Chain A
Amino acid sequence: MTELNNSELIRLSAAQLAVKLAAREVTSVEVTQAYLDRIADVDGQVNAFLHVNAEEALAVAAEVDAIRAAGGAEAEELHELAGVPIAVKDLIVTIGQPTTAGSKILEGWHSPYDATVIKKLRAAKMPILGKTNLDEFAMGSSTEHSAYGPTRNPWDLDRIPGGSGGGSAAAVAAFEAPLALGTDTGGSIRQPGAVTGTVGMKPTYGAVSRYGAIAMASSLDQIGPVSRTVLDSALLQEVIGGHDPFDSTSLTDPFDTLVAAAKTGNVKGMKIGIVKELHGEGYQAGVENRFNESLELLKEAGAEIVEVSCPNFKYALGAYYLIMPSEVSSNLAKFDGVRYGLRVLPKDGPMTIERVMGATRAAGFGDEVKRRIILGTYALSAGYYDAYYGSAQKVRTLIQRDFDAAFAQADVLISPTAPTTAFRLGEKLDDPLAMYLNDVATIPANMAGIPGLSLPGGLADEDGLPVGIQLLAPAREDARLYRVGAVLESLLEEKWGGPLLAQAPELKNAALGTASNSAGGSN
């Protein structure tokens, strides 16, 4: 039916797939099977997936195909992305598949309920390919803190794919999925996007329901899209977004002009602010070069580049590392071996519930999780609350004020997403502070609840690895990011002669361009 081979099929964007599916040039089963084949071929090297959901994904695909084949009202009513497969970060609970949060403590656990975003994916009839790897409970910037082994960066398998959502970013970068869901607490969607050459969007806090995303830090967490194009992220955010009565922090704003904004990108006359504190010292030269190149392109396209200062950003990382672990210490208390998940009995001594909880949590949590729980317990404990948690909450106010002042001078802000390109596996594993510094440019948006988009900005000269450009807008102005992001993306792609991912190396043993499209896609 299709003239495209699998290698071409999996390289289409979600928007392109949606057009071909609607025109019945290709079936969802073909597309879904092509992705499942790709996962089978390359995921042994990438380790993006913790669970592959082939059977259910194909069943949903077949259902969509049947509806399209039958035509009529039901076919008309299908969502634009119906039949387009998607991968889901394994922090988001799903009926019918295990949810581990990348932790031993939830090994084998099956949620009896679906996250709100999963209900929305099901309503849109998007086949769920599986659950992607992450740093345990989303704590990390490299996916090395997963209890199930690290994910590797498709650009260089010896390097990290970022974190915590390295699995989702790597899956999309390695053409194992056209779309994925991530969660972003301090940069976990955007930083992996930056180092894998993909697009990642952290929506305004409250724009997407958190119900069913296993909480790391409740006041910072936000679910968002991971994709290969800006338009695809906009399409996906419109699927998963919207008010949810099950999340008290969910916004009632419609967020329904995102796709239109991505399609009608224009920066003429816009003021784009460079944040003085979010580039320069501490940023890799290749990152700075690509960042400056993007500024030039935007200027040429008619934007006015201004410089703004956010002096309190220097406290953001410190405040984040007080607020986040405080909330972590409370949110992760529920993992105690009583109601679900792992239970470990103490080796010796009295067999009380208290000791069983202690042994379970000792065995079930990894070092980084323990570190943050202890740090958070400290920050909240009697006598320290005011100095730590209380002060950090005040810094949050200062950061918001900085953003307010900056957005009085600029429509959007721009910075590199991460200070460096992907580092080598193990390079920062023993130095928590160095690891934390990866999020220095992404954290302010979480602290203020504003939206942030990362898109590919090219390859660093010194190592040939992807660099991410981050755009920030005021709260509720997600559409503005898609509008500017789409312009910058098209300017860059024009310069590169195609998508950045086209320059990614072929994965070893990958079956790209071979006859593998018959593997199961023929039904």
Chain B
Amino acid sequence: MSTDAILSFEEAMEKYDPVLGFEVHVELNTKTKMFSSAPNVFGDEPNTNVNEVDLGMPGVLPVVNKAAVESSIKIGLALNCKIAESCRFARKNYFYPDTPKNFQTSQYDEPIAYDGYLDIELEDGTVFRVEIERAHMEEDAGKLTHMGGATGRIQGADYSLVDYNRSGVPLVEIVTKPIEGAGSRAPELAKAYVAAVREIVKNLGVSDARMERGNVRCDANVSLRPHGRERFGIRSETKNVNSLRAVEHAVRYEIQRHAAVLESGEPVIQETRHWHEDTRTTTSGRAKSDADDYRYFPEPDLVPVLASREWVEELRATLPEPPAARRKRLQADWGYSDLEFRDVVNAGVMDSIEETIAAGASASVARKWWMGEIVGRAKTADVDPSDLGVTPQTIVELHKLVESGKINNKMASQVLDGVLAGEGAPAEIVEKRGLAVVSDDGPLLEAIDAALAAQPDVAEKIRGGKLQAIGAIVGGVMKATRGQADAGRVRELILEKLGVEG
């Protein structure tokens, strides 16, 4: 594989103005497929989530999944699009073994949603408006596995295996208008745009939005033009850039590559590029040619979808608050600083904190538990914090136990371990593990006497007013009670005993 020459990003930016465009495919999480009643489930045994429709058997006919249409309308609304009063499906004809009918049922000149926009907030707070051209419904293809080659890639493979489980999974393809004026922030904008789309569809509940599973897939178009020129340059389309980081890197790389091509005086070739995460480079796919004659025509086996204004408004009424607005509201409600809130968002526990507060915890308590206790454990367990198994109710209960003095913070942490180990509810674990703070002063006083007797010099210092020395005695008591004493109470009792004002 030959490596393309690239220019440094700074140099590229000095001379050229990038124009971007994105096609983001979102897999919907409907229970069934777009046109068949086979289950839409990821990761099952090959060719078991299929029926005759998904296999393109002779005689089959498609029937549109109503839930997929509703999800598509919701996506359109969340992207500030107009919803078509009438739209149709079309057939896109091309032969490929992952496409069982050798045509894809898609929307062509009549998308269900069009003319929208999305305001993207960059890291420094700058808001950049991305215009949405259209969002249309289509179906996913099956999955090819290339065998016999060294790399598992299509290049060098001896044969391929086809699993049609993914065939017919509902997709919404979101297409932007050309994005101009991003300048050197183009890579950052690219990442932020895809992140925003991902967040929106996740927030709508219409997609699992897991990029690593291909629920959200991005094709990134990049072209360059010299500063001051209005006409767009020739673009490349980098396919299947499937992580947020990769989107940023791929756009940056393509800008650098295009710049090098233009600098050498050559024209950029309009082509598909493949992204390689390992080398962080793209390689040439196939050039666009007249072989791409998809012979679109209206799908004769399906009838038009009419989205009445009543239906659209009904769906609009079910839309959740947009993620950006919601973030603003929550930060204000919770009184977190910008830094605290960003940490919470980055740790992915905003929703969990919201639920915990709803269950009765204060904003600071919820943050303390999620950020202080749970995020670390989740990292160790390599799962999302919300998937660790801690319910808001658990946190509320733990906090109540601490607040009432039944247990201290150290014990609470142990109780949380017990909850995660499946030992039961917090109160039960306190009981079972015998973790209650010793509140009967009798055994405590004995332990204090012993500690004072063991360190008479320290006792003397305290009597003399050096209160900071008390830690050594408290430590001795805690040690003797194996941490079950309430340290605050121990301190009070020591001072009382020594006749010193705290």
Contact = CB atoms under 8 A, between A and B. Distances in A.
Interface in A323-364: 326-327, 329-330, 333-336, 338-340, 353-354, 357
A496 interface: no
Contacts of A113: 51-52, 57
A247 B303 CA distance: 10
A48 B169 CA distance: 42
Contact of B57 (A112, A329, A381): A112
Contact of B102 (A92, A99, A249, A336): A336
A330 B91 contact: yes
Contact of A334 (B62, B101, B300): B101
Interface in B43-97: 51-52, 55-64, 91, 93, 95, 97
A313 interface: no
A135 B297 CA distance: 26
B63 A327 contact: no
Given A330-B103, A336-B95, A99 B58 contact: yes
B59 A212 contact: yes
Interface stretch (A16-24, A148-156, A213-221): A213-221
B347 interface: no
Given A106-B58, A338-B97, A385 B297 contact: yes
Contact of B59 (A211, A330, A354): A211
A215 B56 contact: no
B100 A389 contact: no
Contacts of B312: none
Nearest to B55: A339
B57 A111 contact: yes
B175 interface: no
A94 to B, nearest CB: 10
Contact of B101 (A211, A333, A354): A333
A246 B56 CA distance: 14
Nearest to B160: A353
B57 A248 contact: no
Interface in A283-340: 326-327, 329-330, 333-336, 338-340
Nearest to B89: A248
A115 interface: yes
B301 interface: yes
Contacts of B303: 248-249
A357 B95 contact: yes
Given A339-B100, A377-B295, A389-B297, A334 B160 contact: no
A93 B93 contact: no
Nearest to A217: B300
A99 to B, nearest CB: 7
A214 B59 contact: yes
Most chain B beta-carbon contacts within 10 A, residue among A247, A334, A354? A334
Contacts of B102: 333-334, 336
Interface band, chain A: 35 or more
A245 interface: yes
A212 B58 CA distance: 7
Most chain B beta-carbon contacts within 10 A, residue among A247, A249, A333? A333
A38 interface: no
Contacts of A267: none
B293 A382 contact: yes
A202 interface: no
Contacts of A382: 290, 293, 295
A101 B293 contact: no
A380 interface: yes
A71 to B, nearest CB: 38
B162 interface: yes
Given A111-B57, A330-B93, A248 B62 contact: yes
Contacts of B103: 330, 333
Contacts of A106: 58
A106 B59 CA distance: 12
A329 B100 CA distance: 15
Interface in B428-481: none
B330 interface: no
A210 interface: yes
Contacts of A217: 300
A381 B61 contact: no
Nearest to B101: A334
B39 to A, nearest CB: 17
Given A214-B58, A215-B59, A334 B297 contact: no
Most chain A beta-carbon contacts within 10 A, residue among B62, B91, B95? B95
Interface in B281-311: 290, 293, 295-297, 300-303
A374 to B, nearest CB: 12
Interface of B: 51-52, 55-64, 91, 93, 95, 97, 100-103, 160, 162, 290, 293, 295-297, 300-303
Given A211-B61, A215-B59, A385-B295, 12 more contacts: A106-B58, A115-B59, A215-B301, A217-B300, A245-B63, A248-B63, A330-B297, A339-B55, A380-B93, A380-B296, A380-B297, A382-B295
11 contacts: A101-B58, A212-B59, A212-B60, A248-B302, A249-B301, A330-B93, A334-B58, A334-B101, A334-B102, A338-B97, A339-B56
Q: Nearest 5 pairs between A and B by C-beta?
A: A333-B102, A380-B295, A218-B300, A219-B300, A212-B59
